[in-house]
Amino acid sequence: MSTDVAAARPGIDLARVKAWLPTYGVYAAIVLLVLYNVLFTPNFVTWSNLRIQLIQVAPIVIVALGMALVIGTEGIDLSVGSVMALAAALIPLYLGYGVVAAILISLVAGLVVGLINGTLVARVGLQPIVATLALFVGGRGLALVISGGQLKDVRNADLIYLGSGDLFGLPVLVWIAVVMVLIVAFIVRRTVFGRRLLAIGGNRASAELAGLPVKRVLISVYVICSVLASIAGVLAVARIQSSDASAVGLLIELSAITAVVVGGTPLTGGKVRVLGTVAGALLMQLVVATMIKHNLQPSTTEMVQAVIILIAVYVARERKTR
Amino acid sequence: MTQLATDPEVPAALVAEDVRRAERTDRIVGVVQRQGALAVLVIVVVIASVAWPNFRTYDNTATMLVAAAPPMLIALGMTFVIITGGIDLSVGSLYVLGGVVAAYASQWGLWAAFLVPLLLCGAIGVINGLLIAYTRMAPFIVTLAALLGARGLMRALSSEGSDTYLVKSDAFRSFGTGTFIGIGYQVWMVAILVVIGIVVLSRTRFGHAVYAVGGSEDAASLMGVAVRRTKIWVYVLSGLLAGLAGAINAAKLGSGVTVLGTGMELDAIAAVVIGGTLLTGGAGTVTGTIAGVLLLGVIQNMINQVGNVQSSYQQVISGAFLAVVVVAQTYLVKLRRVT
């Protein structure tokens, strides 16, 4: 970056804008979009609307957090949607033993999937996209087999509270997402594990030479990602009060990857932006909400999303020569 | 190896024997890696033929081939893309888009029903290729955006997916349903395209460029291969074939169904990988891909034969299969490197 040379020039400083945009562009976009909505969208700044947006974005944020960690190691996890379906399918089966048991079983399912993904990537040495593709295909199939392909209603008071209850004026769902964000942010910024994760993503060979437990860290990252996805699956069941293995988490891997990428985490690894990921998920949610409020069709929304992804990646591309 | 050769204590004959053995292992491992899918396909077909009398009938084979025709086209394009070290996630959406557009365009006749989807999906392939070749954005992300964009376009053209255009051209409809010696026209067409694909990949300058780019981009460009042009062409090819696959599917169904195609891209990638093409690029064959596509098709057909098994088992088996094949392949590649 020739920041020094460019800074000497008066007027708009292109180089600095270029360096600034990938990091803070997503926040700027959110601010602009919120301003636009405050000014031009009727009934946007109402509590009920904001509440709905937050509830809708919460599962995506939770999945995207795990995805951000995986992408930070230069990997990708396509199986998150299938893990959600698997977790959702297991809930009604074990609800008889109580809510805690059912949720635990779902989380264990996530843990197992993560172990398989992680082992395939770290020990066998498969490319992450292929390793997780196998469970993307097989996981949902398994979920459908477990649930018998049927939609099952869930009528458990505790679970329903988890999905639609309030705590201190905010939905429980949102609190859970906030806690997850804080935990993941803490892991990335303040723990040895986080440092190792970034080191592996930055340069795996040198991380190995430096004596880091590369395989163990990689497996743990995939486990965390899958467990987060299974939490999202449980919450999805709690929110819609039914378990439908064919619909829960469908295409969420795309939303999660989009949130991570728009949030400024490079696909090349070595860097995880936790708050950026949250902002990325919020931005995409806001874009969709704004377009729906202005009676634009979902098809237009999808095309706009495509353009936003391309812009975000194009802008972030400059940072490759880090 | 070098250690042995330089060691004066070891007789030369022994070294030569050792080298020969290593070469033999290398060759066998190579054949298994490249033709493993074919071998498994043969075994599975034999087992299925013995177990289910219905499986080995001419009708069932014809049905299976017709069902495999669109995935085969998509996987053919994907093979080219993956050999260059890229990936194309947009093909599932392009497949649906192609089907919807073909059904709509069939009101202008048979040729329009083929040309319009080809032009549209080819154009999206051009955009993919240009972005990947000139901006150095990851193929994964560019084609992910194209997946969303093409799906949006398809929904916009079909009133948010609620309009199903019926095929108006009788000629186009009969292309989809007609048969030649008991096997659908589309199967013949796909077979011809696949043969062309094999020849192009293994016998032409472009085919060599595809391998060179996937092997090492820098080396290819030093060799004088037009890296960017090659990359653009493989994505165009992938887009065109996905559009064509959609068109022939629309001809078969008699309408442009808007709800199909989710996950089609991942099926295609799975078939290509099972067929022995490495995702790292630089290696792979169309014949392997054929075996991969047919294998997935046969598994589905077998599960249909059993009857009382839920169709979701097919996904479980396909996923497990993919995992086993890829793990086996990785070990084979490692084995080759060691020997």
Residue A97 Cα, gap to closest chain B Cα (Å): 27
pLDDT greater at residue A69 or residue B256: A69
Residue A19 Cα, gap to closest chain B Cα (Å): 17
The answer to which of A51-55, A294-298, B23-27 has the lowest mean pLDDT is: B23-27
Number of neighbouring beta carbons within 10 Å of residue A316: 24
- A122-166: per-residue pLDDT in tens? 888 888 888 888 888 888 888 888 887 777 787 777 778 877 777
Q: What is the pLDDT of residue B240?
A: 95
Q: What is the pLDDT of residue A1?
A: 43
Q: What is the pLDDT of residue B78?
A: 93
Residue A300 Cα, gap to closest chain B Cα (Å): 6
Query: Distance (Å, rounded) from C-alpha B333 to C-alpha A72?
Result: 27
Q: What is the pLDDT of residue B84?
A: 92
Say if residues A57 and A283 touch (Cβ distance below 8 Å). no
Of residues A78, A267, A303, nearest to B153 (C-beta): A303
The answer to which of B30-39, B90-99, B142-151, B238-247 has the lowest mean pLDDT is: B30-39
- A183-223: per-residue pLDDT in tens? 999 998 888 888 888 888 888 888 888 888 888 899 999 99
- B65-121: per-residue pLDDT in tens? 888 889 999 999 999 999 998 889 899 899 999 999 988 888 888 888 889 999 999
Q: Which of B274, B312, B338 to mutate to test the interface with A (most CBs of A within 10 A)?
A: B312
Interface of B with A in 227-286 (CB under 8 A): 262-263, 266-267, 269-270, 273, 279-280
Name A57's Cβ contacts closer than 8 Å, sequence gap at least 6.
A177, A281, A282, A285
Query: Distance (Å, rounded) from C-alpha B339 to C-alpha B336?
Result: 5
Sign of CA dihedral B114, B119, B125, B129: positive
- Residue that the structure tokens 């009857």 belong to: B307
Number of neighbouring beta carbons within 10 Å of residue A204: 17
Sign of CA dihedral A196, A198, A199, A200: positive
Confidence of residue B1 (pLDDT cuts 50, 70, 90): very low
Q: What is the pLDDT of residue A317?
A: 67
Q: Quick one: how far is CA A13 from the chain centroid?
A: 33
Q: What is the pLDDT of residue B323?
A: 82
Q: Is the pLDDT of residue B3 over 60?
A: no
Closest Cα in chain A to B262: A251
Query: Distance (Å, rounded) from C-alpha B27 to C-alpha B281?
Result: 20
Q: What is the pLDDT of residue B280?
A: 80
Query: For residue A40, with 0-12 CB atoms within 10 Å meaning exposed, 13-18 middle and 19 or more buried, which class applies?
Result: exposed
Closest Cα in chain A to B268: A133
Q: What is the pLDDT of residue B45?
A: 86
Cite the DSSP H helix spans in chain A. Answer: 3-8, 14-40, 47-72, 80-94, 99-119, 128-147, 157-164, 172-190, 192-202, 204-209, 214-240, 252-262, 274-293, 298-316
Contact A124 B330 (CB under 8 A): yes
Q: What is the pLDDT of residue A318?
A: 54
- A21-41: per-residue pLDDT in tens? 777 778 888 888 888 888 887
Looking at the structure of chain B, the number of domains it has is 1
Number of neighbouring beta carbons within 10 Å of residue A35: 10
Global pTM value? 0.82
Q: Which of A117, A310, A319 to mutate to test the interface with B (most CBs of B within 10 A)?
A: A310
Q: What is the pLDDT of residue A312?
A: 80
Query: Distance (Å, rounded) from C-alpha B267 to C-alpha A206?
Result: 35
* B256 conformational bin, left if phi > 0, alpha if psi -120 to 50, beta if neither: beta
Q: What is the pLDDT of residue A6?
A: 45
Q: Is the pLDDT of residue B233 over 90?
A: yes
Cite the DSSP H helix spans in B8-106. Answer: 12-51, 58-83, 91-105
Contact B136 A317 (CB under 8 A): yes
* CATH of region A47-321, choose from 1.20.1630, 1.10.3470, 1.10.10, 1.10.287: 1.10.3470
Closest Cα in chain A to B153: A299
Q: What is the pLDDT of residue A12?
A: 63
Residue B321 Cα, gap to closest chain A Cα (Å): 8
Sign of CA dihedral B219, B223, B226, B231: negative
Query: Distance (Å, rounded) from C-alpha A261 to C-alpha A273?
Result: 10
One DSSP character per residue, B153-206 reads HHHHHTTTTT--PBP--HHHHHHHH-EETTEEHHHHHHHHHHHHHHHHHHHSHH
Confidence of residue A321 (pLDDT cuts 50, 70, 90): very low
Closest Cα in chain B to A120: B327
Q: Is the pLDDT of residue B246 over 80?
A: yes
Sign of CA dihedral B296, B75, A130, B207: positive
Say if residues B231 and B80 touch (Cβ distance below 8 Å). no
Q: What is the pLDDT of residue B2?
A: 45
B156 touches chain A (CB under 8 A): yes
Please state the rounded mean pLDDT for residues A42-47: 78
Q: Is the pLDDT of residue A64 over 90?
A: yes
CA atoms within 13 A on the CB side of A211: 0
Q: Is the pLDDT of residue B4 over 50?
A: no
The answer to which of A102-106, A285-289, B20-24, B219-223 has the lowest mean pLDDT is: B20-24
- Supply the mean pLDDT for chain B: 83
Contact A126 B327 (CB under 8 A): yes
- Supply the mean pLDDT for chain A: 83
H/E element, B270: helix B264-274
Say if residues B93 and A302 touch (Cβ distance below 8 Å). no
H/E element, B272: helix B264-274
Q: Which of B178, B196, B181, B310 is nearest to B248 (CA)?
A: B178
Name A313's Cβ contacts closer than 8 Å, sequence gap at least 6.
A261, A267, B137, B138, B141, B142, B145
Cβ-count burial B310-321 (b if 16+ within 10 Å, e if not):
eebbbbbbbbbb
Please state the rounded mean pLDDT for residues B299-312: 72
H/E element, B135: helix B110-135
Query: Which amino acid, one-letter code, is at B204?
Result: T
Q: What is the pLDDT of residue A322?
A: 39
Q: What is the pLDDT of residue A220?
A: 92
Query: Distance (Å, rounded) from C-alpha B216 to C-alpha B202?
Result: 18
Q: What is the CATH number of the domain that holds B12?
A: 1.10.3470
Q: CA angle at residue A67 from A62 to A71, to 5 degrees? A: 155
Owning domain of residue B113: 2-338
Q: What is the pLDDT of residue B10?
A: 62
One DSSP character per residue, B217-249 reads HHHHHHTT--HHHHHHHHHHHHHHHHHHHHHHH
Confidence of residue B7 (pLDDT cuts 50, 70, 90): low
Please state the rounded mean pLDDT for residues B163-173: 79
Query: Distance (Å, rounded) from C-alpha A207 to C-alpha A200?
Result: 5
Task: Tell me what ipTM this predicted complex has.
Answer: 0.76
Confidence of residue A114 (pLDDT cuts 50, 70, 90): very high
